């Protein structure tokens, strides 16, 4: 949806619809179910992991909602804190 465009750090990296992490829809808030994240299967469990972009200032709340709603207990960051000035 066009209303979710600002939630993507890069315009060319989008989650596939088939593996996209969905958030609980907030009534009356278009695009409130979107976060730029994808489920990844583990060795013994489907959808065992979530890969996502680092949250933007505008998406921090969505990021924490994703962790809460999907019962994530561990966060692993595989990038620098700042990349290309962001």
pLDDT band at 86 (very low <50, low <70, confident <90, very high): low
- Report whether pLDDT(2) > 90: no
The per-residue pLDDT for range 37-83, each reduced to its tens digit, is 999 999 999 999 999 998 999 999 999 999 999 999 999 988 877 77
3-state secondary structure the chain: CHHHHHHCCCCCCCCCCCCEEECCCCCCCCCCCEEEEEEECCCCCCCCEEEECCCCCCCHHHHHHHHHHCCCCCCCCCCCCCCCCC
In a domain, 50, yes or no: yes
Single pTM value for the model: 0.87
In a domain, 29, yes or no: yes
In a domain, 75, yes or no: no
- Find the domain containing 12 and state its range: 2-69
In a domain, 15, yes or no: yes
In a domain, 86, yes or no: no
Q: How many domains does the chain have?
A: 1
């Amino acid at each position: 949806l066009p209303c979710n465009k600002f939630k993507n750090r890069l315009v060319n990296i989008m989650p596939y619809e088939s593996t996209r992490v969905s958030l609980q829809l907030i009534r009356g808030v278009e695009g409130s179910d979107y976060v730029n994240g994808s489920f990844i299967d583990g060795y013994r469990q489907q959808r065992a992991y979530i890969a996502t972009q680092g949250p933007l200032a505008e998406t921090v709340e969505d990021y924490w909602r994703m962790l809460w709603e999907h019962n994530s207990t561990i966060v692993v960051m595989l990038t620098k804190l700042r990349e290309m000035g962001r």
